[in-house]
Structure 1
Amino acid sequence: MENKSTDAAMVGVGDINQLPEECISHVISLTTPRDACVSSAVSRTSHSAADSDVTWERFLPSDCASILSRAVNLVEYASKKELYFRLCEHPLLINRGMMSFGLEKSSGAKCFMISARALSIVWGEDERYWKWIVLPESRFNACVELDRVCLLEICGKIDNKILTPHTTYAAYLIFKLAPNAWGLSNPFQRTEIILAGDIVSQHCVCLNIREREQFNPWWDRPLPGGDTEEMSDEVILPKVRGDGWLEVELGEFNSGDGIDGDVSISLTENKGGHWKNGLIIIGIEVRPKH
């Protein structure tokens, strides 16, 4: 009997469900959003704790209220968990619609997209070279389409302090190609990321691989008058996103411990006066890289 009583007491001591819900919520909040969702299925007590505002408040950015105050439209939600997943699945327009904000689902790290309107584009306001268009599939109220230029220079900036600390981020140009797009495969485009004045990433990209393959099936060989000296570099190619847009990585960086300064992200192609057109830009996205 003594042994049975002792065993029962030990079971009670080791049962996390005997703890106050606030304690369980605090413990779960020290894990990850993914772990919290798993914990929700363990028991009725853990379900309540894992879904509580105490838990999900910890997973939301500390400046979330400030960011929500800059949203274009009022954000309504019934719980912090609902808000978390809304931000993961439906990024908000903020800063007068010039930027979008969301969260990376598995970690809660902040994601931003800088709209085409907020980018610095050489000749971007000259209708002879670029035109502003409205596309229903774009999250922003306008995209910019390249009409015809021989000098391509696109740059975006974001304050490093608004990003999640100690996170490896990558920047991506989000774009489409018009059916008649040409001149975007040769020479390759150069990308650069500068963090607080220091160059942290540089590489080459090819925005229009279809054109490259059409004119040169052995596309890893240089085209006449093109990028001979760049062929030794790794060339980053675009990928199709789930939303139907294309994206190409412009480089990566680590946000560090709140490093003071801007992250400057650029894509350029200014060699030899090569004309090009048909590039449609929605913006530059900055999100955690896995």
Structure 2
Amino acid sequence: MEMNSPDATIVGDINQLPEECISQVISLTTPRDTCVSPVVSRAFRSAADSDATWQRFLPSDYSSFLSQSVDPVEYASKKELYFRLCDHPLLIDGGLMSFGLEKSSGAKCFMLSARALGIVWGTDTRYWKWIALPDSRFSECAELEMVCWLEIHGKIDSRILTPYTAYAAYLVFKLADNTWGLSSPFQTTKITLAGDIISEHLVCLNLREREQDRWWGRPPPGGEVDEMADDVRLPRERQDGWLEVELGEFDSGDGIDGEVDMSFMEIKSGRWKNGLIVQGIEVRPKH
């Protein structure tokens, strides 16, 4: 067949393909690729916005999370729902947990609220108090009054995570103006999956206090200042204005491995601590 014949033009015109075929092809890429695919042709523009395409990017169990939402979820299309879940996570489980999606991949993200965590002495008002903050996604946050035994645990069922995905857990927190005792000794973190230790690390929540101690040459009560090392993890600021520090990473596998336990603690030094404000522990894909 001659390339300049009318039949050859039709064969080479991608706009002649049925929309469902183009939608199937696009859905084999990523949400990011789908958003830029309309530049290819007008046929891609229609398929890239179709419910058939975005249905494949939503988790197969998304409807069960919608049904658990504290507030009704309204959307005009599956694409709108996808980005709604990326930009505005739902409060589920009576407001104790949030559910959302990672924008680039569609993998599921969760945050356990402070109320959903196991905080040692958390119900004793001498040591912890519960406060409401306008920039928290949850109705309550836990603020540390004073303890010498700091221990926080969060648990999540691996079956609700996106299978075969590399995840990391993050403590989401703030530091009050009068915070002390969180610079040294370093805090320890641990991730266990089905009882097996997957990840262990040292973290330092309050680098500023540590620098002030060094400037004044004052070791913390009960011991010397821990030496900083490259593997000690430090907090970073989030887009929402909170701080986060990585607790560890794990692979979700096929989703049948059981419960993931995420812990943060400093229980050995006996040093008193205060001013830590906990919003929760977030579990999201790690890249």
TM-score range, shorter chain: over 0.9
Alignment-mate amino acid for residue 67 of structure 1: F
Alignment match, 1:81: 79
TM-superposed CA distance for 1:200, in Å, is 0.5
Inter-CA distance 123–114: structure 2 relative to 1 (3 Å threshold): same
Tell me the SS of whatever aligns to 1:40: helix
Deviations 1:205-249 (A, max 9, x none): 001111011101599xx8671465x75671000001111100000
Tell me the SS of whatever aligns to 1:66: helix
User: How many percent identity over aligned positions?
Assistant: 71
Alignment match, 2:235: 238
Alignment match, 2:249: 252
> RMSD across aligned C-alpha pairs, in angstroms?
1.8
Tell me if 1:9 matches 2:32.
Answer: no
Tell me the SS of whatever aligns to 1:249: strand
List gaps (5 residues or longer) in structure 1: none
Distance 2:150 2:8 in 1: 70
Alignment match, 1:135: 133
Distance 1:134 1:171 in 2: 23
Alignment-mate amino acid for residue 283 of structure 1: G
Tell me the SS of whatever aligns to 2:94: coil
- Asked whether the 8 Å contact 1:204–1:234 carries over to 2, the reply is yes
Alignment match, 1:117: 115
Deviations 1:96-154 (A, max 9, x none): 00000111100001000000000000000000000000001110000000000000000
Alignment match, 1:277: 274
Q: TM-score, normalised by structure 1?
A: 0.94
Tell me if 1:265 matches 2:254.
Answer: no
Q: Which runs of 4+ in 1 moved over 6 A?
A: none
Tell me the SS of whatever aligns to 2:39: coil
Deviations 1:38-95 (A, max 9, x none): 1123222111111000000000000000111000011000000000001111111001
Q: 2:44 aligns with which of 40, 43, 46?
A: 46
Alignment match, 2:286: 289
- Asked whether the 8 Å contact 2:3–2:9 carries over to 1, the reply is no
Tell me the SS of whatever aligns to 1:46: helix
Tell me the SS of whatever aligns to 1:225: coil
TM-superposed CA distance for 1:17, in Å, is 1.5
- Asked whether the 8 Å contact 2:14–2:43 carries over to 1, the reply is no
Count of matched residue pairs: 285
Query: After superposition, where does 1:152-191 map in structure 2 within 5 Å?
Result: 152-191=150-189
Query: After superposition, where does 1:33-112 map in structure 2 within 5 Å?
Result: 33-112=31-110
List gaps (5 residues or longer) in structure 2: none
TM-superposed CA distance for 1:271, in Å, is 1.2
